[in-house]
Amino acid sequence: MKKIFTLVAAALCSMSMMAKDYTCPLVVNMMGTDMPVGDVKVNVDEQGEGKYTMSLLNFDMNGIMPVGNIVIKDVEATKCGNVTMLNAAKDILITAGDKKDAKGNAQEWMGPSLGNVSIIFKGELKGDNFNACLNIPLAGNMIVGVKLGKNCNEMGQLPNAGFENFHEASYSSAKSQEPNGWHSFMSSTGSMASRVSAAVHTYASSEVRENATEDNKQCVKIVSTPVKVGTLVVASANGTITTGRLKAGSMTASSKNNCSFLDFSSTDVDANGDPFYAVLNNKPDSMKVWVKFKAGDGNKNPKATISALLTNDEYAQDPEDDKYAANIIGRANNSSIESKDEWQEITIPFTYDNKNEMPKAALVTMSTCAVPSGGSKSETNPDVLYVDDVEMVYNADVKKVTMDGKDITNEFDEAGELEIEGYSKDLDINNFQLEAIGAGAYVTKKITTDDFGTYVSLTVTSNDLKTCVTRTITLKGYTTGIKNVETLTLPNGVKAIYNMAGQQVTDMQSGQVYIVKYTNGETKKMIKK
């Protein structure tokens, strides 16, 4: 009986971790140009212990370039709320596919001839939807971007960032148009929620900026409202929206019990069925947003505000509370948006307290006044803030390149190429360093050889995998052997990673201890979470 029970339990366990197939639209990006390929089948297999395998078989770029089978094992998975995020940066071998050509003959595949390929992969599992971006370096400096899933372009961005989609939110008899993925006081919580929830602060507006794209038909209009006791106006309720949830917890406007907050442990959903959080497993450099702000009658503090907190998977709020300071990874803020009554694009840079940890979520909050309850009390001429096209920006560029400690940044030609003759040292990949522009950028270093020379390629890839910049050093006639690893992909600022046995590794496994050397000269012992 015990044996039978064990077998049944094992079978149930295996069923829960079975592979799942997703049919996804595939887009290939080459030289900055998107080429739709059509629908393909992608297999995502839960290995266990927080790891997945992603398989894209018989990958063929519109018959132009048959690549082969792309199988990425031991993909790290992190579950945040209703989203499982997948991440990998490693070397793989692309094998031959089994698909026949039009005449029924065996296809010739490019992948097996490439040797180790240093890929970068980001994916998201949400319900029955799978979206992913994959960067594959091919011959020379060619990097192919693979986009999978109907919503892959939204990865690394906020939900409904263009405010094109709205739903009806309600409280008692009051109703408002609320942008999908964003929340006003209509869905607030806290002891004072009943005083503010009936106020209408959000509207869908067709007042979009000039020169907007054709599909940009709406923005969100946010307005202030008076707070009344009976018929007496006693205060102003700033018009506010957030990707989290608003809390009205105090009669004192400046109290931190009046805040926006994010809590992954909550299962509450809004009127559209969406959670009160925005998953963002990325490290942006800045946030761009279009705004149009006009202060209303009686506003003595005519500055609108937009802020963003990048957080781990624990509770966070804005205004910040010291109790939760460790949960904040990065922040961006502009509390000086002027009343101009015209569209303006503003860029708000992120600063990072924790440069080693990757964010899990973004708590973005926008308000008609930077001072709590400091705006207009007028019903007929309130503060009005229009917001459109919020964009997280990910940089990818080269700040500095060194070879054997020598700065060679300015020696590359316009194409990013540099030829060196007579190089006679042992070829160690750690002797070539690139300092990238981009807080979350990846730096890939690769050594290849052919009959004509030896090549050191240094590539910067933006954290959203959308942009790549490469510098290539050609060592003409080089014949000395390679001393260290031939390919290496590391986060910006990391020089090398070693396990406790002193061996250099290309990635870290959860729960293991490593020695990490940084490009600024620091060395730290750390445990991979």
Q: Kindly report, residue by residue over 490-521, the tens digit of the pLDDT.
A: 888 888 888 887 778 877 777 788 898 888 88
Q: What values do phi and psi take at 300, rounded to 5?
A: -95, 0
Structure confidence at residue 156 (pLDDT): 95
Structure confidence at residue 296 (pLDDT): 95
HSE-up (13 A, CA, CB side) for residue 64: 7
Rounded to two decimals, what is the model's pTM? 0.90
> What DSSP designation does 342 have?
S
Residue 198 lies in a domain: yes
The last residue of one of the domains, among 354, 388, 422, is: 388
488 plus 503 within the same structural domain: no
Residue 159 lies in a domain: no
CA distance 139 to 118: 12
Question: Does residue 347 contact residue 403 with C-beta atoms inside 8 Å?
Answer: no
In one-letter notation, the amino acid at residue 220 is V
In angstroms, what CA-CA distances link 195 with 134, 183, 201, 409? 48, 17, 14, 60
Q: Alpha helix (H) ranges present in 280-345?
A: none
Q: Helices (H) and strands (E) in the chain — how many of each?
A: 2, 37
148 plus 180 within the same structural domain: no
184 plus 50 within the same structural domain: no
196 plus 87 within the same structural domain: no
pLDDT of 9 > 70? The answer is no
pLDDT of 4 > 60? The answer is no
pLDDT band at 5 (very low <50, low <70, confident <90, very high): very low
384 plus 441 within the same structural domain: no
416 plus 375 within the same structural domain: no
User: Which tens digit of pLDDT belongs to each residue from 262-314?
Assistant: 999 999 999 999 999 999 999 999 999 999 999 999 999 999 999 999 999 99
pLDDT of 15 > 60? The answer is no
423 plus 384 within the same structural domain: no
The last residue of one of the domains, among 154, 183, 215, is: 154
Structure confidence at residue 1 (pLDDT): 44
Structure confidence at residue 2 (pLDDT): 45
118 plus 24 within the same structural domain: yes
Give the strand pairing for 143-148 and 129-137: antiparallel
The last residue of one of the domains, among 359, 388, 417, is: 388
In angstroms, what CA-CA distances link 105 with 240, 345, 362? 63, 56, 51
Structure confidence at residue 194 (pLDDT): 84
236 plus 334 within the same structural domain: yes
Residue 487 lies in a domain: yes
Residue 161 lies in a domain: no
CA distance 454 to 472: 10
User: What's the distance, CA 507 to chain centroid?
Assistant: 20
| Domains in the chain, number | 4
**Percent of the chain beyond pLDDT 90?**
64
HSE-up (13 A, CA, CB side) for residue 92: 26
Omega before residue 179 within 30° of 0, cis: no
462 plus 504 within the same structural domain: no
The tokens 């970068």 sit on which residue?
Answer: 120
CA distance 181 to 187: 12
What CATH number is given to the structural domain containing 187?
A: 2.60.120.890
Q: What b-and-e string marks burial along 155-194, b requiring 16 or more CB atoms within 10 Å of the CB?
A: bbbbbbbbbbebbebebeeeebbbbbbbbbbbbbbbebbe
360 plus 215 within the same structural domain: yes
pLDDT of 8 > 80? The answer is no
Residue 160 lies in a domain: no
Residue 143 lies in a domain: yes
Q: Alpha helix (H) ranges present in 163-273?
A: 193-196
Range of the domain at 202: 166-388
59 plus 78 within the same structural domain: yes
Nearest to 491 by CA among 462, 512, 453, 470: 462
What CATH number is given to the structural domain containing 75?
A: 2.40.128.350
In angstroms, what CA-CA distances link 49 with 46, 85, 238? 9, 14, 46
Nearest to 327 by CA among 354, 365, 364: 354
Structure confidence at residue 139 (pLDDT): 66
Residue 205 lies in a domain: yes
Residue 460 lies in a domain: yes
For range 93-103, the mean pLDDT: 86
**Percent of the chain beyond pLDDT 70?**
95
